[in-house]
Amino acid sequence: MWSVGAPPEKITSLQNPRVKQLVKLRDRRPRDEAGVFLVEGYREIRRALEKGVALQEIYFSPEWFLGENEPALIAQAQAAGAVAFELTKDTFAKVAYRERPDGLLAVAPQWKRALDELKLPAAAFLLVVEAIEKPGNLGTILRSADAAGCDAVIVCDPVTDIFNPNVVRASTGVLFSVPLVVEESARVQAWLKEKGVRTVATTPAAEKIYSEVDLRGPLAVVMGSEQYGLSKFWLENCDVPVRIPMAGQADSLNVAMATIITLFEAVRQRAKT
Amino acid sequence: MWSVGAPPEKITSLQNPRVKQLVKLRDRRPRDEAGVFLVEGYREIRRALEKGVALQEIYFSPEWFLGENEPALIAQAQAAGAVAFELTKDTFAKVAYRERPDGLLAVAPQWKRALDELKLPAAAFLLVVEAIEKPGNLGTILRSADAAGCDAVIVCDPVTDIFNPNVVRASTGVLFSVPLVVEESARVQAWLKEKGVRTVATTPAAEKIYSEVDLRGPLAVVMGSEQYGLSKFWLENCDVPVRIPMAGQADSLNVAMATIITLFEAVRQRAKT
């Protein structure tokens, strides 16, 4: 099985310091202190490796494997510099945060990207999300941005840490492929204005319907938080407020659903230019 | 607190037969045998009452309440014929299936609606979903159909029971407002043909893009299952196969996301007629 590097160290005790550290990394403070985060699952780890993320460690437990491809993925991680550790079934159950673990868990370095590091095309297509609370929603939103071909996602005034395990999970690893910046709303708005990017923000109070507005050219779609919607700052400082017409219950659409509707209307319009 | 009916019976023991029965109702067989299902949470129970669902029982535990409106909702359920039971904190923790219970759980009768019971307008707007596996996806899809103003949702060859607690939950109670029919694919297809409803089915293999097809008039949007996509039957028997163009990872869009994109493009086109 081990074609590359040394055979992995085996961890059998629930008291092993590495096991304890992996459990701690579910919380933000220990994550930030160590400057790393957890990546669990075959698909997520594969995507990290595809994008050249330098995984520091890879933990595995063959008794949890679902398929045949796990050893090759572990070897690939080792070849890229990750240290491998083999865990017993029970030990892995303790470090896994998924309900149905697949026997693979990696530790990746956190990163921080500044607005000015983003390389934007002439007709930039950006998604700005404000103070999203639920990690699952943020992950789903990243998937939508990836599917829609957004050039970047900018997370303003975050309530949820982008390195929360449930963001990684709900994003299915897309976290590694969509350029992501965390920044204050005021700075983001000033930067977009300077770059000539029009901001279209969704709010139920808007007069214009999202699909009746021109969404071509340099564009940032701005979405508010689950509970409070768009902040006063963005309501006052966006270029065009729009709304999504709704037929049913007032709260049928959550923020992730509203995001994907707006992004794909932009995709539709932009394909026509 | 009790302005209507008798003061509720109190349940303090985890061994109470009603407590045991509520736990059993999480599984399909006992649900079907009893012909009922669980509705947990303030919003979901409120929506059931708004739609005139004759709740049989309402269980509550004030120590779990999140707000001030719970007693009024319980009184409303009692006035509509539900028998109320007050549970201790521990007893309610046992019967709740949510991670964060809000102290309200009701038992509602199951129903069965046939295709011919649906009352369709001239330009019917339907959603057909095939063999959806995850209750959470089915619930989210129901929310989308409600927001888009679909006249009905038809669930073909279900893998997930529409009365699964997680469908009720993910639908946020919209299960009670969107007309829902469960039926075999072949019957559904024949019925739609007879009614002159055009079927537009999404599949990655299609040539046409969903937004370049006319989605006005009598329309059924057909969505396949998470894992297998559309079945051979629907691929061969739909009127127009369409695809959603994707920029990112091949599997960025899940079935719930693909559904909402397609439904809201139909809403956009239909608003223009």
Predicted confidence (pLDDT) per residue in B224-243, tens digit: 988 888 999 999 999 999 99
Contact yes or no for A103/A8 (Cβ under 8 A): no
- How far is the alpha carbon of A178 from chain B, nearest alpha carbon, in Å? 9
CB distance from B133 to chain A under 8 Å?
Answer: no
Q: CATH number of A9-109: 3.40.50.450, 3.30.565.10, 3.30.1330.30, 2.60.40.10?
A: 3.30.1330.30
- The answer to whether the CB atoms of B177 and A248 lie below 8 A apart is yes
Nearest CA in chain B to A43: B251
Beta strands in B95-237 (DSSP E): 104-109, 125-130, 152-156, 180-183, 198-202, 208-209, 219-223
* Mean pLDDT score, B87-109: 95
* Mean pLDDT score, B259-267: 98
Tell me how far apart the alpha carbons of residues B154 and B171 are, in angstroms, rounded to a whole number.
Answer: 15
Confidence band, pLDDT 50/70/90 cuts, at residue A141: very high
Instruction: Output the pLDDT for position B26.
Output: 96
Please give the CATH superfamily to which domain A115-270 belongs: SPOUT methyltransferase, trefoil knot domain (3.40.1280.10)
* Mean pLDDT score, B165-174: 93
Confidence band, pLDDT 50/70/90 cuts, at residue B2: low
Instruction: Output the pLDDT for position B1.
Output: 54
What are the extents of the domains in chain B?
A: 9-109, 115-270
Instruction: Output the pLDDT for position A5.
Output: 60
Residue given tokens 């539709």 in the structure block: A268
CB distance from B248 to chain A under 8 Å?
Answer: yes
- How far is the alpha carbon of A14 from chain B, nearest alpha carbon, in Å? 26
Q: What are the pLDDT digits (tens) for B185-222?
A: 999 999 999 999 999 999 988 999 999 999 999 999 99
- The answer to whether the CB atoms of A147 and B47 lie below 8 A apart is no
Contact yes or no for A39/A45 (Cβ under 8 A): yes
Q: What are the pLDDT digits (tens) for B51-71?
A: 999 999 999 999 999 999 999
Higher pLDDT, A7 or A83: A83
Confidence band, pLDDT 50/70/90 cuts, at residue A157: confident
ipTM of the complex: 0.90
Q: Look up the pTM and report it.
A: 0.91
Rounded to the nearest 5 percent, the helix, strand and coil shares of chain A are 40, 20, 40
| Cα–chain center distance at A54 | 17
- How far is the alpha carbon of B267 from chain A, nearest alpha carbon, in Å? 9
Instruction: Output the pLDDT for position A103.
Output: 97
Partners of residue B253 in chain A, C-beta under 8 Å: 143-144, 147
Query: Across chain A, what does the average pLDDT equal?
Result: 93
Contact yes or no for A188/A115 (Cβ under 8 A): yes
Partners of residue B245 in chain A, C-beta under 8 Å: 267, 271
